[in-house]
Structure 1
Amino acid sequence: MPRTTPLHPAPSPAEVQPSASAAPPLVGARLPRRAALAALLLPLTACAAEPEPATGAGSAADAPAPGADSAAEEDAVTVAEAWVKAAEEHMTSAFGILRNDTDTDLVLRGARTDASARVELHETASDGSGGMSMQEKEGGFPLPAGEELILEPGGNHLMLMEIAAPLLPGDEVELILEFEDGTEHPFTATVKDFAGAQEHYEPEGSTGTGASDGGGEHAAEHEDDE
């Protein structure tokens, strides 16, 4: 019987032996899953490591707003119920309630406004004959810490000398108070009609009134304004 040669010769044991460098099939299948997991965890780790913005006491959000101190100082002196007596010429008076909410005693030494050539501080005193007369207050008005200074008809007041234009009811006048320590305080006063407190002005008791007319006429003007 003739010999037949097998079409596919059986492999030798050396050929069947797996190569030492070949990776097991299961190990090769696990590597892609681990690599994918590592790629997924990497951005999460980076996010967790990112520092959060500071919110402590020293952060910029807690810092006081610029100008807060100056705003508080401006509110330390207040003027309430401010008004000016209506007048068409010459002079008139300004009134109100000044309050010192600082912890320092102040002295009001003057005031100014564009509505008049100058402003004088006037006080009212007895004229010795049963009436009242007004004169410029020497040394200014003291305004102790935590107290009030009342400017009113028949009492202490601001005298607007030589007004620049008629001041009619409803007008508003901008004034600035000047204190002895160099500080200033602006305020607005409303012009009102008023016909009370008929005191007269005493030129002899005043310092630097600057009246251009005679004493009698000046006195009559002040009487009309007050």
Structure 2
Amino acid sequence: MSSATTGRFVRPAVLFTGVLLASLVAGCGSSDDDSTAAPSPSATAAPSATAVAADSVLTVQDPWVKAADAGMTGAFATLVNNTDADVTITGATSTVSPMELHEMTMRDGQMVMQAKESGTVIKARSEYRLEPGGDHLMLMNLAQPVRAGDEVSFTLTFADGRTQTFTAVAKPFTGAQESYAPGHGQGEPSHAPSASHSPAP
């Protein structure tokens, strides 16, 4: 008798528990729907990246820095001018070193590096290579080592007052037998102060 009575009371309790669990599951589902409907932060990030690219004066391709522990070193890249007007770079800065625009020139029968006082011109609809053995951005006195894999930030200044910042990765480089400090061997590009820090004659 008691067992039959117990069975009659258990069934409604089980049914009530099932309804309660279904309500809770439905409530969780609606909460998930609300969270997925919210806009993600990445949806608003793309326009700002596009705006920065649109403000750039030049396209800087494959920028890199010659790794060095101290003294002098160089930064290189391919600069692309996609506009219809010539662009002149008048200076460059970095947080790790004072900088100069440099070029290779013949002096006393030897190729030497010197400051490019007139700036670097990138013609309209053309590209300009900054490379070892040619024009480059010179880091004059490193405040800290620049080791392979380091990222160094540079800011270019243009003749019209605009600026552009880019980041270059440091790489080990021994090609062209270049020397960016006194003590170079014969036939190597010179950067001795007596030769390279004075304007071209």
Which bin holds the TM-score, normalised by the shorter protein?
Answer: 0.5 to 0.7
Does the 8 A contact of 2:77 with 2:130 survive in 1?
yes
| Structure 1 segments of 4+ aligned residues over 4 angstroms from their partners | 65-71
Give the unaligned 5+ runs of structure 1.
1-64, 209-226
1:150 to 110, 125, 129: 129
- Listed one character per residue, the Cα deviations across residues 134-181 of structure 1 (whole Å, up to 9, x for unaligned) are 100011011111111110000000001111100100101000111111
**CA offsets, 1:45-77, max 9 Å, x none?**
xxxxxxxxxxxxxxxxxxxx7997664232x41
Q: Counterpart of 1:73? A: 55
Distance in 2 (CA, whole Å) between partners of 1:90 and 1:132 is 21
Aligned match of 2:190 in 193, 196, 200? 200
Pairwise CA distance, 1:127: 2.9
Flag the structure with larger Rg.
Answer: 1
Query: Which runs of 5 or more structure 2 residues have no equivalent in the other structure?
Result: 1-46, 179-188
Distance 2:172 2:107 in 1: 26
In the aligned structure 1, how far is the partner of 2:65 from the partner of 2:50? 31
The corresponding residue for 2:103 is: 123
Q: Distance in 2 between matches of 1:193 and 1:69?
A: 34
Q: Give the share of equivalent positions with the same residue, in percent.
A: 43
Correspondent of 1:162 among 120, 129, 141: 141
* Structure 1 residues 168 and 179, CA gap change in structure 2 (3 angstroms): same
User: Of the two structures, which has the highest relative contact order with CA contacts closer than 8 Å and spacing of 6 or more?
Assistant: 2
- Residue 162 of structure 1: SS of its match in structure 2? coil
Give the distance between the partners of 2:196 and 2:145, measured in 1 at CA.
28
Give the Cα separation in 1 of the matches to 2:112 and 2:75. Answer: 17
2:70 match: secondary structure:
coil
Given candidates 73, 91, 104, the residue that maps to 2:85 is: 104
- What TM-score comes out, normalization by structure 2 length? 0.64
Aligned length: 141
Q: Distance in 2 between matches of 1:205 and 1:90?
A: 15
TM-score by length of 1: 0.57
- SS of the equivalent of 2:55 reads helix
Task: Mark the CA change 1:169 to 1:70 in structure 2 (over 3 Å): closer, same or farther.
Answer: closer
